[in-house]
Amino acid sequence: MNLHLRVWRQQGPDADGAMAAYDVSGISPDMSFLEMLDTLNEELAGRGEEPVAFDHDCREGICGACGMVINGQAHGPERTTACQLHMRHFADGDTIDVEPWRAAAFPVVKDLVVDRSAFDRIIGSGGYVSVPTGSAPEAHATPVPKAAADTAFENAECIGCGACVAACPNGSAMLFTSAKVVHLNSLPQGAPEREERVLSMVGQMDAEGFGGCTNTGECATACPKGIPLPSIAAMNREYLRAVRKGR
């Protein structure tokens, strides 16, 4: 396959950025999108040019490190992570635009790399259980209803890639935050800090400068792990409950 790429290049957070055009050839349909970028970078390095900077780690769709907007869609045309998107989903001769996540709370570090530490600060504000547990309890010591366990597992699948923010026209982090809140608040272990958790995490989310949610639904559509849109409603109920209790 021969492809025409238009890639966002930006030297740093305070520098002006622009799309740069590149042609890559000999791309196998079985390559992942990141392997295709590796091929481009090898060619750039061979010509003495600076390679394109992009985030990656496990390349198995688990860690959430990779993140880019491909032809206007977060992670590209398939509901998966960029590292698991294969070039067979494109045609020979295609023009592909590659850009970083676009959100005020995700400033560009360089090229396709953005600073997603805002997510870490949201987690740090309450996305954990701090009650001392001692040694590992017997598995059946704390009964968990099947429905609650299913809800917790479903939301725990969030990998924090940021696709929900990039896909949202408002740059909202509601799906990410709700996944973390609902995951813990659904379980007995999360009950002691239930109200404090949701108030702190929503407050930190707002402080980071993410946009408001208008229930567009693009976040859930783009999420590679399928976090459901109703999680946002569940978090809103948790928030109102905490406010009513005066926490």
Do 129 and 60 share a structural domain? no
Token code pair at residue 38: 């590796």
Say if residue 160 is in the same domain as residue 224: yes
- Provide the CATH number for the domain around residue 226: 1.10.1060.10
Task: List Cβ neighbours of 4 (8 Å cut-off, separation of 6 or more).
Answer: 21, 22, 23, 93, 94, 95, 96
Range of the domain at 56: 3-109
Q: Is residue 247 pLDDT above 70, yes or no? A: no
If asked whether residues 67 and 171 sit together in one domain, one would say no
For 115-134, write each residue's pLDDT tens digit: 999 999 999 999 998 866 66
What percent of the chain is modeled with pLDDT above 70? 97
Q: Is the pLDDT reported for residue 2 higher than 80?
A: yes
Please report which confidence band the pLDDT of residue 149 belongs to, taking 50, 70 and 90 as the band edges. Answer: very high
Q: Which of 84, 88, 85, 87 is nearest to 61 (CA)?
A: 84
CA-based R_g, the chain, Å: 20
SS3 for 21-46 is EEEECCCCCCCEHHHHHHHHHHHHHH
**Do residues 128 and 179 share a domain?**
yes
Look up the CATH number of the domain holding residue 98.
3.10.20.30
96 with 126, same domain: the answer is no
Its pTM stands at 0.93
What is the model's pLDDT at position 141?
A: 78
Reported as a single tens digit per residue, the pLDDT across 4-36 is 999 999 999 999 999 999 999 999 999 999 999
